A and B are shown apart, each in its own frame.
Chain A
Amino acid sequence: MAIKIDYALQESATNIRRNMFITVAAILVVGVSLFLGGSALLLQHATARASDQWTSQVEVAVFLTNDISPDERTQLQNDLTAMSEVARVTYESKAQAYERFKRLFANQPDIVNNTSPDALPESFRVKLKDPHQFGVIRDRLDGRPGVYQIRDERQTVHELFKATETQRKMSFWNAIIVFIAATILIATTIRMAIFSRRKEIGIMKLVGATNWFVRIPFMLEGVVQGLIGGVVAVCILLLPPVRSLLSSTGPQLAFSQSFRFQVTYGDIVLYGSFMIAAGMLIGVLGSLFGLRRFLDV
């Protein structure tokens, strides 16, 4: 039997109007849960992307001792270039290192003023074909005269990301809990709507209405609530202050000015559509749970 669309729409509109207060509550809970869950996912996504970008930028730094002779240095550069694992080698002088240092700590002049240009070591910046080959390079260069320290800067990046991971995991689980709460609240809304109309439903069933005929207006109501909740969540995310706040909770890398951690509008649009779909899913699930018991007439 075809269910008339105008009938279903009219029924759900009436229900939403009758239970305005609790409907608004349900929409807000869905909105907040999706906002929390969505921002957790967004951060995860943006972090993963930033991590990729940074890791591909970051190099192995071979710091040199102060007493290295020009010959030793040239020899070392040649050896590095000759290694099959190495993609590119660039030299960074003390002066260049200081320039970079000044740039990185531009907003902390005290640090810059207290550091003499001579204090920073010169180094070779080594880009590897495969970043995982760091161990090979280190083993080969360790202890070689003139080499002060070999550092894989990817390691620094990873530590940085680890620090934010716990935080992101927590917000993700928070979001799951609120997601469940939202589903239950929608179920409650639907149940109240049904309760106020149980007489009508009883009559409907007695005159031979199918379960779907009874169910669809209520499900539609749940879906509309979830949909609006999803849209609310996306709207909150799109607010500029919220977006910059989100961006600021991500890891920031001092040595990589060109790649600021950022949640882009593109990310929000991508995850926003997921969030709206999730909102509608909450609506369907909630109304199904809410309806279950009432339909065995």
Chain B
Amino acid sequence: MIRTVNITKIYRGNVVALRDVSIDIIKSEFVFLVGPSGSGKSTMMRLILREDQPTSGEIYVAGKNVAQLASWKVPALRRNIGCVFQDFKLLPNKTVFENVAFALEVIGVSRGVIRRQVPEVLELVGLGDKAPHLPDELSGGEQQRVSIARAFVNRPQILIADEPTGNLDPTTSIEIMKLLDLINRRGTTVLMATHDHAIVDAMRRRVIELDKGIVVRDQERGVYGYGAQV
């Protein structure tokens, strides 16, 4: 589902963010991307979303070579990828319902479909009763669930989460992880960048560790622990 072949990303001023990274994530997999700040996790996410292009190498997302994708095809690519961020990225002046509906509106989904799908996905993330509220009126965990609902509402093949629990307390984090696990079990490939030891250790899923732009570990059912290679 996500495959990179020897990608290298060098930013201006010879800053090497990724060096010769090759990973292969198959459909319906749940993968943690771990590593210290500056290890290249965010760059990896950006490249998959085609927010940026690699200096060299190839990236295949859902069968398409993203590195060479024409810019007008990028929107179509992104419709296959749901995104969840540490800071939720919700629109403060729109209600929970509208925030989720927004993701469907911008891709031209009809009103009828929006009215059916949004409550359904809000129910899935456990916020069926929060639809008319503004994000400000919700707790952090609830806001993150709204953003997950938005990412998942059009049933993407891939869900990318960049530190989704970074701003949340451990209990709330576990709820978010349960939700991501639920989405994963429905067939969506999940790639999650995180710093959270406890979560990675508890989930026992595949772990890819980056350090200074190099893959230092790629392990089925791994734990966090830097340098704790098996």
Where the two chains meet, the residues of A that have a C-beta atom closer than 8 Å to any C-beta of B are 1-4, 7, 199-200, 202-211, 213, 297
Contact = CB atoms under 8 A, between A and B. Distances in A.
Given A202-B89, A206-B83, A210-B75, A7 B107 contact: no
A200 B76 CA distance: 19
Contacts of A7: 105
A1 B108 contact: yes
Given A199-B89, A199-B91, A207 B72 contact: no
B3 interface: no
6 closest residue pairs by CB, A with B: A208-B79, A209-B106, A208-B78, A207-B103, A1-B108, A210-B75
Best-surrounded residue of A7, A205, A207, A297 (most CB of chain B within 10 A):
A207
B150 interface: yes
B60 interface: no
Interface residues of B, number: 19
Contacts, number: 47
A205 B78 CA distance: 8
Contacts of A3: 108
A171 B143 CA distance: 59
22 contacts: A1-B107, A1-B108, A3-B108, A4-B108, A7-B105, A199-B91, A200-B91, A202-B89, A203-B89, A204-B106, A205-B78, A207-B78, A207-B79, A207-B83, A207-B106, A208-B77, A209-B75, A210-B72, A211-B75, A213-B106, A213-B108, A297-B51
B218 to A, nearest CB: 27
Contacts of A297: 51
Interface in B172-205: none
A199 B99 CA distance: 13
Contacts of B49: 206
Contacts of B72: 210-211
Contacts of A204: 102, 106
B102 A203 contact: yes
